[in-house]
A = this chain, B = another copy of it.
């Protein structure tokens, strides 16, 4: 391991790379990590000692607050390599802002922009060999923060660790998915933490999702917990519905994650001249549209899955499936978004940022 200092980030390089052992054609999502990670600790009221070092286990006190009180947030973003071997990020400022919004809601310290962005940039440069080109390939990026302060008393930690991990990825879901509409379980409360990318929001969904899986459904579309009448989002995706030629999606709220894919698709769809309505989508309206054939498409949208086609949904034990159609909005938007992200088309929105 050689140690050098680049700007303020200490760089400790791995002595050898694991890359030759990786089968890039058969990557299972989020399972393989690159040679290095970025780490920065918060102590005595400040962030200090940013370092890029070999990916390795970390030492944690068993009473660390993250284990007992769940102070943990994360982001999910991707980097893409173009034909010139340049590496591009997609709207990283949005992830940075959302990360700090999550931090505030979870009573965690915000991460300075320079630490988040420089850490990301330097880490991607060091492990750029791991980023594949084309064909849905990308580098999945996982910034996260955990409470490392010790003590089993339920109050905010005074120490934290911010890290960035890199995991080479193909696409998240394969094939079309069937979903179930939540009638009893919920993802988020009014006045709760649903809009934060907080770790606890995800574990809360595992049990109901397991139940759905047993019944042959891959995902749940969550509804508002008070009435279960408003369609909100899926576990790691926002959701779009096409009724006749109108694309519908729920407004964001304190219960719903403000997805970057979602907001990008809304902008792109409008630019393509599609009619988009951002308004509460009611379960009965969806069922009605499925029955009378005006429901044409449903798809999920998120960084990991990009766009995930939803083939049909179950509600009150009845399964509704859309008739297959040609030229779907989902396929059009996926094509537009991924070619922009992969620098195969012009980025007229100014969303792509070069790693340099």
Contacts and interface: CB of A to CB of B under 8 A. Distances in A.
A206 interface: yes
Given A153-B31, A193-B204, A207-B106, A62 B58 contact: yes
Contacts of A146: 67
Q: This chain: how many copies in the complex?
A: 2
A259 B230 CA distance: 32
A152 B142 CA distance: 8
Q: Which of A28, A71, A192 has the most CB of B within 10 A?
A: A192
A200 B193 CA distance: 10
Contacts of A198: 70, 200, 203-204
Contact of A153 (B30, B147, B209): B30
A141 to B, nearest CB: 10
A61 interface: yes
Interface in A53-100: 55, 57-63, 65-72, 74, 76
A189 B225 contact: yes
B207 A105 contact: yes
A59 B57 contact: yes
27 contacts: A30-B153, A31-B153, A33-B63, A58-B59, A58-B62, A59-B60, A66-B72, A68-B74, A68-B142, A69-B199, A72-B203, A106-B207, A140-B152, A153-B172, A154-B202, A186-B189, A186-B191, A187-B192, A188-B192, A189-B189, A189-B225, A190-B226, A193-B200, A200-B201, A225-B225, A225-B226, A226-B227
